[in-house]
Structure 1
Amino acid sequence: MIVCLAVVGHQNNPLYIQSFTEADDALKLHHMVHCSVDVIDERVDNPKKSGPTINETFLGLLCPTENYKVYGYLTNTKVKFILVTTDLDVRDADMRTFFRRFHAAYVDAVSNPFHVPGKKITSKTFAERVATIVKSFGLTTTG
């Protein structure tokens, strides 16, 4: 189950973060997202260590913990998508599909002429579309 989804700008500023769990876990999930930004930056800055995946937008598993797995995706404009899930046996193909659909929703949201680039995404349409994408992956949302 997806418990948190975030969009982080190219200057590591949060553009969108949504928790799909109880409020008690929200702070812990925000911390995990923040820590995973460092992992993404390390992979981008050190391409020899990260291998051939740096040429790809899907960064794969960033940092597994006991209860969560954190996946990352990097757009061509250096915007980072971070997904935190409690499902410990997720296939990379499913994550790629999810991120492609999420990326399409993000592009639609920032293509809005009223959206200011680099500012938080506050579109209700975007939030609804994200909730639909999360639900379509067989996951429930409570937030």
Structure 2
Amino acid sequence: MILCVAIVGQQNNPLYLQSFAGGDDVLKFHYIVHCSLDVFDEKASILRRTGTNLNDNFLGLLYPAEDYKVYGYMTNTRVKFVLVTSDLELKDLDIKTFFQRFHAAYIDVTSNPFHVPGKRIASPMFRDRVKTIVSSFGQL
């Protein structure tokens, strides 16, 4: 089950966070997303050093915890996408597909001429589209 999705900007500023867990867990998910940022940098530097395929934006599992797993995806412009899930049996291909759809939604919202780059995403249409992507993933 998807618990949270987030987008973090180039300067590690939060651009978007949506929780699907219910309750008042938003602060907890902000903390989880913030903790994952160091792992993003570490994985990206390892990929650069080893010369691994840099065209693949999917970074995979960032870190597991008792109750959840945190997955990461980084665009070419260093915008980071985070997925927090409680499902322990997810396939990488399914998560890649989710991130590709989430990235496409992000591109659509940031292509709006009224969107200011680097500012929080507050579009209700984007929030609904993310909810649709999550529900099509079979989580809601």
Q: Which residue of 2 aligns with 1:117?
A: 117
SS in 1 for 2:83: strand
Q: Report the residue type matching 1:17 in the other structure.
A: L
Question: What amino acid is the match of 2:35?
Answer: C
Identical counterparts, % of pairs: 61
Q: 2:89 maps to which residue?
A: 89
Partner of 1:80: 80
Equivalent pair of 1:53/1:59 in contact (CA under 8 Å):
no
Structure 2: where are the runs of 5+ without partners?
A: none
Pairwise CA distance, 1:99: 0.4
Amino acid corresponding to residue 28 of structure 2 in structure 1: K
CA RMSD of aligned residues (A): 1.6
- Tell me how far apart the structure 2 counterparts of residues 103 and 51 of structure 1 sit (CA, whole Å): 24
Matches within 5 A, 1:1-143: 1-47=1-47, 52=52, 54-140=54-140
More helix by share: 1
Residues of 1 paired with 2:118 and 2:129: CA distance?
20
**What is the TM-score with the length of structure 1 in the denominator?**
0.91
Distance 1:5 1:62, change over 3 A: same
SS, match of residue 52 in structure 1: coil
**What is the number of equivalent residue pairs in this alignment?**
140
Give CA deviations for 1:28-56 in whole Å, capped at 9, x if unaligned. Answer: 22111110111001112343677736542
Contact 2:58 2:96 in 1 (8 A): yes
- Inter-CA distance 50–132: structure 2 relative to 1 (3 Å threshold): farther
Residue pair 2:9, 2:79 contacting (<8 A) in 1 also: yes
Task: Name structure 1 gaps, 5 residues minimum.
Answer: none
TM superposition score normalised by structure 2: 0.93
Alpha-carbon distance in structure 1 between the residues aligned to 2:50 and 2:92: 16
